[in-house]
Amino acid sequence: MPEGRRWVRPLGWAVSVVSLAAVVWWALQQDAPTLPDTPETIAAFAGAIGLYAVAALVRGERWRLLLSECDVAAPRADCHALIWVGYMGNNVLPARAGDGMRAVFMAPRAKADLRTVVGTLLAERLLDIAVLAAGFVVLAWLAVGGRGFPELSTVAVVLAVLAAGVAVAVLAVAILHRRGLLHRVRELLGPVLHSTRLLRGRHGAEMVGATILIWGLELGVWWLCAEAAGLGIDPIEAGYILALSSMLALVPAAPGQAGTMDAAVLIGARALGRPQSASVAYLLLLRFVLLVPVTAVGFILLVTRYGGVARLRSARAGNIAS
């Protein structure tokens, strides 16, 4: 691991441990949660699992279209199967290693440059962040009237930090240009940024539409889990909790966003004034739906279709050598 990034993994684990400990301590002070025990709540729970699978299918199609736009003829079956493998990797391994697994397995099967495949994952991430950020602003105002937004002073500090980051980036580009290294950097990063540069015109609009559909389906998952838990929230309020949790998921954390997602769900439910025991039940159901089925399917696909961890290591070595 590069010297400058050695602190990222310990920081992620520390954030998760502290957040998870706080969540567990809080949950132990509440009444025992009631899990689905009626036909209606059981049906809602089963519907959430099914809807999450549909969202994964749409993600697979979006990835295939991003690859196709980069002239990568990726097999449709691999685009869909590797979504599940990637989910599994992100749920059980640190540093979103599942995304790396997707790229390493896809590159040789599609006969593509690994950097180009990685670039499509970057485009996915940027699309998700853009839609989630916009959704959070809208849903927060609709659900809680904007409560919980940072104060203007905090916003000013964040903007100042962003401006400083842009200034540093511009300075770095100027130094690289002066030393004659900018061309080499562009050649190295060009394939990685290619998919993002293509997000314009009709293709960009289609990808934004697909991303909105994905998160609309995920909103349905979160709302159905709330129905199964008896939390008593409407789809807009479920969308607010989803957006809040997903934005906090940008914070470095342990596998499966342990701790950070849990804290965000409970904070969001509390902001909506929902019962604490129902909030705990909601969190437990969400954790099951978002982690257990997809991790099991992803592991089965990893072993049966992609040869397991040993094949991953050999594929990674082959990509690095090439």
Q: Which two tokens stand for residue 189?
A: 């990063």
Q: What is the pLDDT of residue 246?
A: 83
Q: What is the pLDDT along the chain (322 residues), one digit of tens a residue?
A: 444 445 445 544 454 444 445 444 444 445 556 678 899 999 999 999 999 999 999 999 999 999 999 999 999 999 999 999 999 998 888 778 899 999 999 999 999 999 999 999 999 999 999 999 888 888 878 776 655 555 555 456 556 766 777 777 677 767 766 776 666 656 667 789 999 999 999 999 999 999 999 999 999 999 999 999 999 999 999 999 998 888 776 665 556 566 678 888 888 888 888 888 888 889 989 999 999 999 999 999 998 999 876 666 665 655 655 5
> Would you say 246 and 286 are in contact if contact means Cβ atoms under 8 Å apart?
no
Q: Which domain holds residue 76?
A: 36-321
Identify whether 4 is part of a domain: no
Residue 43: predicted pLDDT: 96
The 10 Å Cβ neighbour count of residue 250 is 13
Q: Is residue 6 part of a domain?
A: no
Q: What pLDDT score was predicted for residue 146?
A: 59
Establish if 135 belongs to a structural domain: yes
In a domain, 108, yes or no: yes
Report how many domains make up the chain: 1
pLDDT of residue 275: 83
Long-range contacts of 50-54 (CB under 8 A, 24+ apart): 51/217, 51/220, 51/221, 51/224, 52/217, 52/218, 52/221, 52/289, 52/290, 52/293, 52/294, 53/293, 54/217
How far apart CA 200 and CA 82 sit, in angstroms, is 26
- Examine residue 129 and state whether it is found in any structural domain, yes or no: yes
Paired tokens of 101:
């697994």
pTM: 0.79
In a domain? residue 46: yes
CA separation for the pair 263, 251 (Å, rounded): 12
* pLDDT at residue 56, rounded to an integer: 97
What's the chain's Rg over C-alpha atoms? 21
**CB contact set of 116 (below 8 Å; sequence gap of 6+):** 70, 72, 191, 192, 194, 195
Who contacts 150 (Cβ-Cβ below 8 Å, separation ≥6)?
158
pLDDT at 276: 81
